[in-house]
Chains A and B, each alone.
Chain A
């Protein structure tokens, strides 16, 4: 399942990229499972997602929890807690 991944703030800096298309393997069904899979892609991903409890996610531009299903997702974003205002 190809999906577009977006990274923001220090997650972007640590992965070294703002976005990419990845082919998510069968068996990776939730946001938490996707994070676990991404951590295995290389040291920069392991570093970016080391504090997995801090990383927030959005699917198709809506905030989601780690337990959220990836079914039907087109765009998944990972970022630190927001600090606007």
Chain B
């Protein structure tokens, strides 16, 4: 179990190995990795800066993770979210869930992503290929996705 907010990149394989080391009660591991796209709403993206609310971000991610642990029988879970300046192709977020069976691991991973997108205090600012900048606006589809849980 754990949440981390950091500037550095993460290695999905290394994170999974660390999370599940020595465990033989896990039958299913689901990972989700979110990455920076090179385009958004028709604009070419040159880069992205992620800002957050230190202190609240970690608290909110921990609340979301604890909620997932109440709803599904998880043996382990992890949320890593990057901040700072990123470029297309870079990793942004990693969610790992481990359970005895796949149904819980899949559902919990999707829940964690849907919830963190609507609750964790991160904000993205895009830099476009022409040098202009724009704060990314929240999507109604994210609220809809979170509401179904």
Query: Which residues of A come within 8 Å of B, CB atoms?
Result: 6, 8-10, 58, 61-63, 77, 79-85
B55 touches A9 (CB 8 A): no
A75 to chain B: closest CB distance in Å?
Answer: 9
> Most A CB atoms within 10 A — which of B50, B53, B135?
B53
B121 touches A58 (CB 8 A): yes
A84 touches B93 (CB 8 A): yes
In the complex the two chains form, what is the Cα distance from A45 to B147 in whole Å? 32
A84 touches B120 (CB 8 A): yes
8 extra interchain contacts, Cβ-Cβ under 8 A, other than A80-B123, A85-B117?
A: A61-B53, A63-B60, A77-B53, A77-B121, A79-B123, A81-B138, A82-B123, A83-B117
Query: Which residues of B come within 8 Å of A, CB atoms?
Result: 34, 50-53, 55-56, 59-60, 81, 92-93, 113, 116-125, 135-138, 142
> Most A CB atoms within 10 A — which of B56, B116, B117, B142?
B56
A33 to chain B: closest CB distance in Å?
Answer: 22
B117 to chain A: closest CB distance in Å?
Answer: 4
Q: Which residues of B contact A83 (CB under 8 A)?
A: 117, 122-124, 135-138
Q: Which residues of A contact B53 (CB under 8 A)?
A: 6, 8, 58, 61, 77, 79
B138 touches A80 (CB 8 A): yes
In the complex the two chains form, what is the Cα distance from A5 to B121 in whole Å? 15
In this complex, what residue of A is CB-closest to B114?
A85
A74 to chain B: closest CB distance in Å?
Answer: 12
In this complex, what residue of A is CB-closest to B61?
A84
B93 touches A85 (CB 8 A): yes
B59 touches A82 (CB 8 A): no
In this complex, what residue of A is CB-closest to B63?
A62
Report 6 cross-chain contacts, Cβ distance below 8 Å, ordered by A residue. A58-B121, A79-B121, A84-B93, A84-B116, A85-B34, A85-B93
In the complex the two chains form, what is the Cα distance from A10 to B51 in whole Å? 11
B135 touches A82 (CB 8 A): no
Contact of A80 among B56, B116, B135 (CB under 8 A): B135
B56 touches A84 (CB 8 A): no
Q: Which residues of B contact A8 (CB under 8 A)?
A: 51, 53, 121, 123
A82 touches B51 (CB 8 A): no
